[in-house]
Amino acid sequence: NVTTVAASGVGFEGDLQTGYRAAMCLRTAMRVLEEIGYADADLFDVYRAVKNSVDWKAYLGKHQTFTVSVRSSSGGDRAIRTRVKDAICDALVDQTNARPLPPSSPKAADLAIFVTYHNGELTIYRDLGGESLHKRGYRPPTIHASSLNETAAAATAICAGLAKSGSSGMIADPMCGSATLLIEAALLKLRIAPGLFRTSYPFEE
């Protein structure tokens, strides 16, 4: 059930299973975010708002890790990120007597937090994919990074009509480098979910 369509994204309602399926199956989305907290707060009150607006022990257990990403229209993303991290850590210490550790690379964090701050409105999300969904998982680490983002390649294939029934499914890429466009076109035509190649998702923990 789509609720909003904006320049920053599309909002929809559904249960957790719907969110997990979206993280695995959406081809052109960069992230699938579940809203878990909201508060009206000025920049100096971000710490309190984050600490008190979410029951953090329901999302993070002992010895689990988390990361924080911030998008703010007021600037100061680094300062906001620091306050959010401090608030989550202190809340968990108060609730569980344990402080979470930073994730060890290349292991993804158990919980990826995405925070937006706009005109005094603070919204806290759980990133169901854990990281950008353009990281499909089918590209070996020895292959150079593609200059064409995977989600953009999928969008190109959709705009070319490959998703339409009756389409011949033929596509040529004369500038083929790492074959991103061809791979995404093949996944689209064969109806293979792009997220199936990932080795894990945070919601599996």
205 residues of the chain, pLDDT tens digit each = 899 898 888 999 999 899 999 999 999 999 999 999 999 998 889 999 999 999 999 999 888 889 999 999 878 889 999 999 999 999 999 998 888 877 766 567 889 999 999 989 999 999 998 888 998 988 877 666 677 889 999 999 999 888 877 666 678 887 777 888 999 999 998 899 999 998 888 777 6
130: left (phi > 0), else alpha (psi -120 to 50), else beta? left
In angstroms, rounded to a whole number, what is the distance separating the alpha carbons of residues 127 and 166?
Answer: 36
Q: Which residues pair with 11 in a beta bridge?
A: 4
In angstroms, rounded to a whole number, what is the distance separating the alpha carbons of residues 202 and 205?
Answer: 6
Burial class (CB within 10 angstroms; exposed 0-12, middle 13-18, buried 19+) of 12: middle
Contact 128, 23 (CB under 8 A): yes
Burial class (CB within 10 angstroms; exposed 0-12, middle 13-18, buried 19+) of 204: exposed
Q: pTM for the full model?
A: 0.84
